[in-house]
Structure 1
């Protein structure tokens, strides 16, 4: 459990202005923050065990009715993992501590995340009036001004932003609009499964497989799933497949524990040892797959698409089979799942991923079109447009037409908007509208990658915002507005 980027910056505001002096006791906030950090020790294990309420209970030890500083700290600590509780605590901090910019900043971020833009703008204006709207926060504040149609105010607000250290702004956007942290989502799904609110393990499996494998997290939650107390869950096909893989899970648990021990002692293996361990890991995977009759040779895919994705990825990583070999063996089965009456969009996504890795352009084009037309999924439309060749004038015209068609179907997709602005030959008002839409979509999900870091970049957001602003201002100058 950790404080958010935004909460950390809000905390730094506490000593910067007399606005805060009589409202939040700085020394108490610092003391309570240290106490909350100590209380939350072990929360990560609670999430891995699928018990999110136990993690929250650790923090409630510092909660006290009427204590604004405690509510502020608790709101900061839960901003990422428990948004609803964080919002409630920050509202209490405002009620008990009086109006102040530190809490108004946190509430502005909450209202922005909730798409409650009228309230968000009011909170942002309170922070601005206190002289504390600093760093990249004006860029976030500009979002709601755009949503409300106050474009000129948004331009002025965005101009105040100073982005500073690479990744901070992007990190805040991920906290506001990104998916709920995988570990928290797994814990919620696992708690529901245990309580009998769900008899389907697919949700828990989806989040479990998204956790990292190198440090043992994935193996730890796999073990938790297999020990679930809900008797109905024991008959779940996904869990039955997972149970067969128990030797592989146990091997990963051992490796994860070793990884953590080495990190703590700074005792890292040399290259020769890493190669031996990698070979051993590959053999453990091969043995487990052979024992269950999964993936390799004539083996089948597991019932869970999520588990299948992990196994296929690991098989390719450890060079137990190539993407082409896996596509030849499992492509037809994945296609059948995707085209079944019940439907399975994740099977289609996995098929498309294999086709991409195997450089099967014709097959990928078919999957993209099917995903676009049957499942109305913007990912496939964007992939379809991006996969078209654009060498000759005729090909460029075809790409532009397909990009425009994708925009008509998915007007709010950041990737589709990026492609249509690049390939769609948009001009005038049409281009302005698309740029405005791209800016709003980029806030919700950045499309650019950082050149130096394995992370998302806000480059396209800023570029689209600046181009949109310049076009609007140019039009205003021409019309004398």
Structure 2
């Protein structure tokens, strides 16, 4: 399991409108048929006469002025729903926002659709489609719809929208060039994808392009998972309560950043205190450490753990696996010298393994076990834990660790067992770019991977930015541009060979 993602527990807003093998690819799918035009959705049909589709479209500047006004009003309306966000009532907040949107016209539906982009994707899509029906041919609406269908991996629906945007004042914004190109890759139009990237001013907007990949492919908002855990935990689900507490200390805002979320922390501990009586060990240990853990500015060390009788010395692992995760993370981050990981593993490894392999899933215990094994140099134990995390917990981080630690050394050909492992990982996690990259390199031997192989890596990397996120000294944009240069070179070579 990789160091950079184990126990670190220390949202960009939606826009209004508009290592060896890695370096080999960095330095240097499908049918080609045109996707069918979905007749059920008029926004896709670029050939339909405007008079046949349109109602009375507002001038663009007037529509955008309405959107601006509606956005300000929506912020005030949405502010009243903030108390619902950390109390298991996100569905209620979304329903009230949708009802409010439906009382207005296209501009309000568009504005609320933007607000709900990550919080309620299907509701957001429905509102944007309704806005398009009322105000067809507004480029900002078409742009949102193109992003929606790209996010759904429905490129047959997204491509006509990207094409319709080209001649408009919005065009294909530079920060969205990789997304439009992604759909060309998915449809088999590799040259079209290269052309979009090459013609875009993406180098001047690379930060926006990286953030847009997260906006579209980053998955639901963290609040959605918190809301789900909260409702389950309120119903007595112990695993959900542990997940709720862990999430509040490791709140992901994007692929690059995570930090504690104070409102989530307060809501999680308040709920935990209703689930655990004052006499339970879980409650007593959390209450003892909570003031120190909640306030990141307070000093924290082994003396605090010793005072609360957990983790260090002869004390047991906390009854709450999440408390052990959070407390160990804080200890490691604040210590001048790293703790004795081998001693911690010897003391608590059995407990962690028992919890991770028990009848009830315990992902927090699994994460700490893997971290201690890696830090203590227990390669055999780590391999077993990674297998467990991959096969039972279906956590792709453990699969990645397993594949990377088993990778043959430089110049060593992979044996059948490793190739089978790689193929299984690629099947289990089809959007992870490492596996098609390794497969491409091994197939090519010492030569250049064919264009189709490079395109598969590009699709996966656009969806996750995983190759560059896990290699902290390489910008995501630099990785994508290097892969597009590689794709262009492969296409030229194949064209010269008559393929």
TM class by shorter chain equals: 0.7 to 0.9
Q: Give the aligned partner of residue 179 of structure 1.
A: 219
In 2, Cα distance between equivalents of 1:450 and 1:375: 23
Identify if the C-alpha distance between structure 1 residues 404 and 148 changes in structure 2 by more than 3 Å, giving closer, same or farther.
same
In 1, Cα distance between equivalents of 2:94 and 2:303: 37
For residues 388-399 of structure 1, the aligned pairs below 5 Å read 393=411, 396-398=412-414
* CA drift at 1:140: 0.4
Aligned with 2:433 (options 409, 414, 421): 414
Instruction: Give unpaired runs (5+ residues) of structure 1.
Output: 10-18, 257-276
Identify if the C-alpha distance between structure 1 residues 311 and 216 changes in structure 2 by more than 3 Å, giving closer, same or farther.
same
Cα deviation code 1:209-232 (max 9, x no counterpart): 42366663453133232255xxxx
Q: Please tell me whether the aligned partners of residues 321 and 365 of structure 2 are also in contact (alpha carbons under 8 angstroms).
A: yes
1:226 is aligned to 2:245: no
Q: TM-score, normalised by structure 2?
A: 0.74
* CA drift at 1:475: 0.6
* CA drift at 1:241: 1.8
For residues 292-331 of structure 1, the aligned pairs below 5 Å read 293-302=309-318, 304-319=320-335, 321-331=339-349
Cα deviation code 1:147-183 (max 9, x no counterpart): 2222232222232332224422121111211132323
In 2, Cα distance between equivalents of 1:374 and 1:84: 30
Cα deviation code 1:313-333 (max 9, x no counterpart): 122223394333322222232
Q: Please tell me whether the aligned partners of residues 229 and 240 of structure 2 are also in contact (alpha carbons under 8 angstroms).
A: no
* CA drift at 1:68: 0.5
1:8 is aligned to 2:8: no
Q: Please tell me whether the aligned partners of residues 407 and 416 of structure 1 are also in contact (alpha carbons under 8 angstroms).
A: yes
Q: Give the aligned partner of residue 145 of structure 1.
A: 184
1:120 is aligned to 2:120: no
Q: Please tell me whether the aligned partners of residues 178 and 197 of structure 2 are also in contact (alpha carbons under 8 angstroms).
A: yes
Cα deviation code 1:383-432 (max 9, x no counterpart): 24433586675xx335x766634431122322333445567764669654
* CA drift at 1:69: 0.6
In 1, Cα distance between equivalents of 2:281 and 2:167: 59
* CA drift at 1:440: 1.5
Measured on the aligned residues, the alpha-carbon RMSD in Å equals: 3.9
In 1, Cα distance between equivalents of 2:232 and 2:362: 23
Higher relative CO (Cα under 8 Å, sequence separation at least 6) belongs to 2
Q: Give the aligned partner of residue 259 of structure 1.
A: none
In 2, Cα distance between equivalents of 1:171 and 1:206: 25
The alignment partner of 1:99 has SS state of: coil
1:446 is aligned to 2:461: no
Identify if the C-alpha distance between structure 1 residues 242 and 153 changes in structure 2 by more than 3 Å, giving closer, same or farther.
farther
Identify if the C-alpha distance between structure 1 residues 441 and 389 changes in structure 2 by more than 3 Å, giving closer, same or farther.
closer
In 2, Cα distance between equivalents of 1:26 and 1:421: 47
Q: Give the aligned partner of residue 469 of structure 1.
A: 488
* CA drift at 1:433: 4.3
Instruction: Give unpaired runs (5+ residues) of structure 2.
Output: 1-10, 19-56, 252-257
Q: Please tell me whether the aligned partners of residues 386 and 419 of structure 1 are also in contact (alpha carbons under 8 angstroms).
A: no
* CA drift at 1:365: 4.0
Q: Please tell me whether the aligned partners of residues 245 and 265 of structure 2 are also in contact (alpha carbons under 8 angstroms).
A: no
Q: Give the aligned partner of residue 353 of structure 1.
A: 371
Identify if the C-alpha distance between structure 1 residues 64 and 391 changes in structure 2 by more than 3 Å, giving closer, same or farther.
closer
Q: Give the aligned partner of residue 404 of structure 1.
A: 419
Aligned with 1:108 (options 146, 149, 165): 146
For residues 223-372 of structure 1, the aligned pairs below 5 Å read 223-226=269-272, 233-234=275-276, 241-242=282-283, 244-253=285-294, 255=295, 278-279=298-299, 281-282=300-301, 285-286=304-305, 290-291=307-308, 293-302=309-318, 304-319=320-335, 321-340=339-358, 347-368=365-386, 371=389
* CA drift at 1:74: 0.7
* CA drift at 1:73: 0.8
Cα deviation code 1:421-472 (max 9, x no counterpart): 5677646696544422211211221124479989972433332233133213
Identify if the C-alpha distance between structure 1 residues 392 and 194 changes in structure 2 by more than 3 Å, giving closer, same or farther.
closer
Q: Please tell me whether the aligned partners of residues 226 and 243 of structure 1 are also in contact (alpha carbons under 8 angstroms).
A: no
Q: Give the aligned partner of residue 270 of structure 1.
A: none
In 2, Cα distance between equivalents of 1:220 and 1:454: 35
The alignment partner of 1:81 has SS state of: coil
In 2, Cα distance between equivalents of 1:159 and 1:96: 35
Q: Give the aligned partner of residue 50 of structure 2.
A: none
